[in-house]
Amino acid sequence: MEASNQVPPLQDKYVWKAIWLMQVPQKVKMFVWRACRNAMPTKQALMRRTIIGNSICDRCQADVEDPLHALWTCTELDTIANDARIRLDEFHITRQGLESQMQRAVGSAQNQWLPPPMDAVKINFDGATGPKKKKAGIGVVVRDVNGLVLASCAKKKHQPYKAVEIESLAAATALSLVTDLGFRHVILEGDSMEVIQALRENTQPLTPTDLMLEDVRRFSQNFDELLFSRTKRDGNVVAHILAKYALSIPDFLVWMEDVPSHILPIVQADLARLH
């Protein structure tokens, strides 16, 4: 007879009592109870009912998939948990972006993203700091007069930066990207008043911010026309969400004529307001 992983009957009432007293939602209690009773649709249970012919775990390929293995001992559980955290981060980023878009819908037109002139492209950039400011992220998106994405990127910085520092690095990353793409008429737009004002004044590097913007000034020589534009956060949402997303990636990602799928609704909302 096949051995059972179920809790012995004499202990059932004690196990159930302990589960019932847990301060968690009812569905969590039922899930734990089903796991204790070996009443989950694991591969072991499905094989016992002759639904499948193999009880080996699909993830690790090393052991029978029973409740204990599926929930606790599988060596691939850390990978699954990390993937889940990334997906959850993407969900929160998208939700925050959509909430910001809804707020923009009732705001004035000057707070919305506005397209560049016919012969130019607009590059929006932004920087973000991570939890406890141990890392930082950069987001850049390039769009044309029709609001269509020409390129975008997200870059993770593995060290802490002050807000104005990461914004300065984001501006340099933005111009580096469009230099590689070969655009000649460019509008560089961000929501940092300090950075945009420093770029407009084009003074000699006297402050730490001026020094960090030297790369931007160096890249500016590659364009026939380069204008600097300051917008509010509501006009810079796509770049901002890309910067937040950069905190969860390994290093540097570029998308040609696209953005990450969870950011696409934000781009589409900007497009809808142009027509």
Q: Which residues contact 61 (CB under 8 A, 6 or more apart)?
A: none
Select from 59, 77, 95 the last residue of a domain. 77
Q: Are residues 138 and 252 in the same domain?
A: yes
Q: Are residues 89 and 174 in the same domain?
A: yes
Mean local confidence (pLDDT), 33-59: 83
Q: Give pLDDT, residue 134.
A: 83
Question: CATH number of the domain that 215 lies in?
Answer: 3.30.420.10
Q: Are residues 167 and 217 in the same domain?
A: yes
Q: How far is CA 264 from the centre of its chain?
A: 12
* Residue 96: inside a domain: yes
Q: Are residues 222 and 111 in the same domain?
A: yes
* Residue 4: inside a domain: no
Buried b (16+ CB within 10 A) or exposed e, 123-135: bbbbbbbbeeeeb
* Residue 146: inside a domain: yes
Q: Are residues 129 and 209 in the same domain?
A: yes
* Residue 166: inside a domain: yes
Q: Give pLDDT, residue 172.
A: 92
* Nearest in space to 241 (alpha carbons), one of 135, 106, 140, 166: 140
* Nearest in space to 262 (alpha carbons), one of 140, 95, 139: 95
In whole angstroms, what is the distance from residue 36 CA to residue 18 CA? 12
Q: Are residues 172 and 50 in the same domain?
A: no
* Residue 104: inside a domain: yes
Q: Are residues 167 and 70 in the same domain?
A: no
Distances in whole angstroms, Cα of residue 11 to Cα of each of 15, 124, 261: 6, 62, 49
Domain containing residue 161? 82-274
Q: Are residues 258 and 181 in the same domain?
A: yes
Q: Give pLDDT, residue 139.
A: 97
Mean local confidence (pLDDT), 229-255: 93
CB 255 within 8 A of CB 152: yes
- Whole-number CA gyration radius for the chain: 26
Select from 77, 105, 133 the last residue of a domain. 77
pLDDT digits (tens, 9 = 90+) for 163-179: 889 999 999 999 999 99
pLDDT digits (tens, 9 = 90+) for 60-87: 888 888 888 888 788 887 776 676 667 6
Q: Are residues 153 and 219 in the same domain?
A: yes
* Residue 152: inside a domain: yes
Domain total in the chain: 2
* Residue 1: inside a domain: no
Q: How many residues does the chain have?
A: 275
Q: Are residues 51 and 109 in the same domain?
A: no
* Residue 209: inside a domain: yes
Q: Are residues 42 and 57 in the same domain?
A: yes
Q: Are residues 174 and 249 in the same domain?
A: yes
In whole angstroms, what is the distance from residue 138 CA to residue 192 CA? 13
Q: Give yes or no for residue 5 having a pLDDT over 90.
A: no
Select from 26, 61, 77 the last residue of a domain. 77
